[in-house]
Amino acid sequence: MKLKNSSWYLNLSVSLILVLLLAGSQKLQAQQYGFTGFYNSLHRLSLPVDTRSLKKLTGHTCDNSFFYYYFDKNYFTLDNLKVIGKFEVRNCKFVIYNFSLLGEGEGFHENVYLVNAFSEGGNYLDNIIISGRLGGEGGADIFSGKITETEFLMKIKEEYYESSTGLNYEVGIEKEESYTFNFQTRKFEMIKEAYVCKKLNFNLFYKQIKNAFQDSDRKIIGGDYALKIKPLLYCNPLSTKNVDKYRDIVHYLDKSGAPYGAINILKAITEKYPEKRESWLNLGDAQWATEDYSEAKKSYQKYFYIIKEQNGEVDEIPGYIYERMEE
């Protein structure tokens, strides 16, 4: 009986060793078989793919040999990396991944879907977030999307948080983006950017940013309000009725250390009213503040040209402009 039990135990041990060796061999093979073997093992997806249905698909875990996502590794950790499936367009290979994103110390744990593009030979080309929630201190972007044979359609909702109380509030920006894959440059390129305007009221925005400026709340102007400038212009195009208020907003942004928001407005003003020389001067100053010196000099040159055309006095030109033009 002891001999029989010993034989059974020996056979079981050998079997377990073989299983472990086989599993180790498969893992080693998985790491060595390269892109072709990796890609051929994936589930083929039929287009279009709606990201809302991706959670219904089953993926398999994989290593990061063919996964590229660049976050600060000291701040974010990736967990449960899975491949959902693959699809092809014009001999370019695409792989959809799902992973969990853990914000250390930030209290969020999010699932994200991402598309990687690869050449026929398996060389990594580019990636794009198509679904999930990416957040950090003070806010988050919520992505949802759909993939067709020609476009990557996404809808993004931006949320921000009141850090002092921990209560959520919405900035009120929703954006719809469409991307296509450029087969010449081998990169995803935006082909459409549109904002949902139902929540963005110009007069209310103007009143709020004016009050914040009067209360010397520079931080919220340079943060939350500056983020609204592009959708504000999209939903409330520049006109004779609102241009003076837009100029006020430029002043609030400039004095609050938010030159990027001011640049967006000033570009719209100089495009619609190119003869307004002060706007060109302000645009140059804002561009200089962002260290975009070449564009700033172009704006200053336009400012010089308009003064000359309007027979203005050279003495009107601030001295610092000459110094900047010589740099």
Tell me which of 1.25.40.10, 1.20.58.100, 3.30.160.20, 1.10.287.610 is the CATH number of domain 202-326: 1.25.40.10
pLDDT over threshold 70, residue 146: yes
Question: Phi first, then psi: what are they for 70, rounded to 5°?
Answer: -105, 95
Cβ-in-10-Å burial (0-12, 13-18, 19+) of 215 comes to: exposed
Distance between CA atoms of residues 208 and 217, nearest Å: 11
Segments making up each domain of the chain, as ranges: 2-32, 35-196, 202-326
pLDDT per position as a tens digit, 282-324: 999 999 999 999 999 999 999 988 988 887 677 778 889 989 9
154 CB-near residues (< 8 Å, 6+ apart): 129, 130, 143, 144, 145, 176, 177, 178, 179
Distance between CA atoms of residues 101 and 129, nearest Å: 13
- Better-scored residue on pLDDT, 235 or 102: 235
pLDDT per position as a tens digit, 14-31: 343 333 333 333 343 344
Distance between CA atoms of residues 174 and 194, nearest Å: 9
Q: Which amino acid is at 115?
A: V
Q: Which amino acid is at 101?
A: L
Instruction: Write down the pLDDT at residue 221.
Output: 84
3-state SS of 122-151 is CCEEEEEEEEEEEEECCEEEEEEEEECCCC
Considering Cα of 27, then 29, then 31, then 36, what sign does the dihedral take? negative
Instruction: Write down the pLDDT at residue 138.
Output: 65
241 falls in which pLDDT band (50, 70, 90)?
Answer: very high
Most confident of 33-37, 71-75, 92-96: 92-96
pLDDT per position as a tens digit, 43-76: 899 999 998 888 777 667 766 677 877 666 566 6
pLDDT per position as a tens digit, 178-191: 999 999 999 999 99
The chain-wide mean pLDDT, for the chain, equals: 80
